Each structure stands twice: as structure tokens, then as C-alpha cells.
Structure 1
């Protein structure tokens, strides 16, 4: 699992104007930490540090360490608001990750063994319908990603959410809602003209 540590400072100056000043003058972004038994906490983070961390796919699905004025807390990233046209982060929301407590998070899907799939070797084309999925887990069982094994998939076969192998302690909440929510994840299409 990747390790990300971000330094932050508590902030008391709240509101739109204060947030704009932070972003414009100090190169900082406003953020909030919530969850657990503690009250929500308003903080500021360095914009450069968030941009650098966000370059890694695993930043969005890892347990993060936030050092707020020297006190460390384990969190997950719940939301990252970006500017619609510029490469700017406007705000971040973090949820405290309390050992033993279940939370939901979106993790990426990694499609493995496509190079060993006989249907692809014969000219079939893999199509990835979904690239990420929401899971429920505890901080101790949080996977960085889920693997979808494509080795034995045949032409025309559809891989569904229920076919994804889950680590122990990890669930896909949408599957509990019934068969209608067992959405397709990937398929292998027949070679054109055959």
C-alpha cells in the first residue's frame, strides 16, 4: 500500500472570502476533516503538495496520513474539487479512518492477464466498461485497487461486478441491491469481419 503524508494547519478563518484569499495569496487550499467521534476540523494544505500527490492513482484509494499542526491522523480522500478550466484544486474533503469502522471508497480496477487471454490472441478486442468501483471496507482491509483477471474470458463473454475477486473484508455495496446492480465490467468483442 502506498504511503502519503500531507502537512496541514488548522484554520479558523472560514467562508468564501477567506478561502479565496488562501488560494490566491498563500498558495494554500481549504479542506475539511470529518468523521469518527470528533467534530469536523477546517484545515489548510499546500496546493503544490496536493497536486503532486494527485498525480498518483493510488492517492485516491489509499489510507493517508494528515499531520495537522504536528498531530497525525489517518484519513481517506472523499472529495477533491477542481477548477473547471485550470489545473487548480479548490477544496478537499477528508474522512477520518477509524480502525474497525467500515467506510465506502472508490478504488480503480486493474485488468490483468490480457496478454495471456486466448480470445485476445485470436484477434478479439477487450473492452473495459468500468474502470473503478465503490467498495466498503475497514482501514485495515483497504485495497489500493481490485484486479480483474481476463485470462479465461472468451469472445462475447461479459465480466460482471460479481466476478471480481474481492480480498477478505471487502464488499461491493451495490451487489447487495439485487441482480439489476450487477453491472458489466469488461467484455471481449469478436474481431471485425469474422
Structure 2
């Protein structure tokens, strides 16, 4: 089981130059905590600890506990700035989580029963994913690590929309709340096969 906790230190040496020195000399990652009723707080994290945490997909949709000088802050990862070539984290933004106050977060979608989906197993179709994550609104205690998309009964030509998803109790989809029922996935015939069938139909018509 992943431990969603990180030790952090408050920092007062701010600016781009200070951040570069921090990363170079101490293998630390500069970060900021903001939100709630408190003022933004600049902190630093041990780079290897943050990297290890980010290896877990759930870290991006899980409440993380930051320990700073003995005090604990519940936060969500809001944004990560990465090195354009090497991919390591240059800076992190965390959003404070307040108990009893709704939050919004991006949650990954896990597609289930894809190989045995009706449109794949008996219809010979292929699955295309339109979305890989969704924005949810809920209380911190209800935040899911992922949302399942069950493809078992989806036939060729059918589209799974946001409104088709089964959501955990207390969780709402932000897009749906704004009247946007976006497509999530669909099953379609392979392009090569569809093209061949189209050509066959054309030849038959010509005769």
C-alpha cells in the first residue's frame, strides 16, 4: 500500500536563482502550497521522495499529507513543472484540502472488460478511448483514486458517454454539471475492414 505522505521544509529563499540552487545543491524540489484561508506557503521537498510517490498513478487523485515542521497539511497535486528533456520535476504546486469543503480534481479512468466486450469478442470491433481522466467534484473523504468504465456490454457502433459512468457516492462530474455529456469511449470496426467492405459495396453497385 502506497504511503501518501511527504516531509517538507518551509523556505524563505525565493526566486528563480534560489530554486536553481535548491535543485542543484540539495537535490530538493521547490514547491508552493496555496488555497483555503491561509496564505500561500513556499516549501521544498526531497526530489527522490517526490519521484517515488509520483510513480503511483493514484498520487495524482489522492489526498497527500505534507509534514512541515511537525504540522500536517492535507493537499492535492495541482500542477507539476517538469524538465522538457529529462522529465524530472522542477516545481510543484499543491492545493490545500479543507475537510467538509468540496474540491475538484482530475481522476483517471480504468477501462474494464475490454478484451471481452461484446463489440470486440463477437463483433470484431476495436475500442477507442476519447478520455483518459475526468474532473470530479466531491468532499475530500469521497475522492476516488479512479473511476471504472465497464465495456462488457458495449456493441460495435456504440459510444460510452459521461452519463453512462457509475460514480461512487458523493462524486459528481464537473462536465456533466455544466451540461456537457462528453464521449468517453466507443467500439468501431477496424479501418482496414471497413474500407474493404466499402470497396466491395461499390463494386457490387457498379455491376
Instruction: Tell me the equivalent position of 1:90.
Output: 90
Runs in 1 of length 4+ with deviation above 4 angstroms?
A: none
Bigger relative contact order, structure 1 or 2 (CA pairs below 8 A, ≥6 apart): 1
Report matched runs for 1:88-127 at 5 Å: 88-122=88-122, 123-127=124-128
Aligned length: 192
Report the aligned-residue RMSD: 1.4
TM-score normalised by the chain length of structure 2: 0.88
Deviations 1:73-112 (A, max 9, x none): 2111101110111132111011111111111110100011
Instruction: Tell me the equivalent position of 2:186.
Output: 187
For structure 1, list consecutive stretches of 5 or more residues without a partner in the other structure: none
User: In 2, distance between residues paired with 1:111 and 1:22?
Assistant: 40
User: In 1, distance between residues paired with 2:105 and 2:187?
Assistant: 28
Q: How far did 1:48 drift?
A: 0.9
Do 2:28 and 2:47's aligned partners in 1 also have CA atoms closer than 8 Å? Answer: yes
For structure 2, list consecutive stretches of 5 or more residues without a partner in the other structure: 198-207
Report matched runs for 1:1-194 at 5 Å: 2-122=2-122, 123-178=124-179, 181-191=180-190, 192-193=193-194
Greater Rg, structure 1 or structure 2? 2
Deviations 1:105-150 (A, max 9, x none): 1010001122332221122111111111111111110000011111
Q: How far did 1:176 drift?
A: 2.1
Do 1:10 and 1:43's aligned partners in 2 also have CA atoms closer than 8 Å? Answer: yes
Residue 116 of structure 1 aligns to a residue whose secondary structure is coil
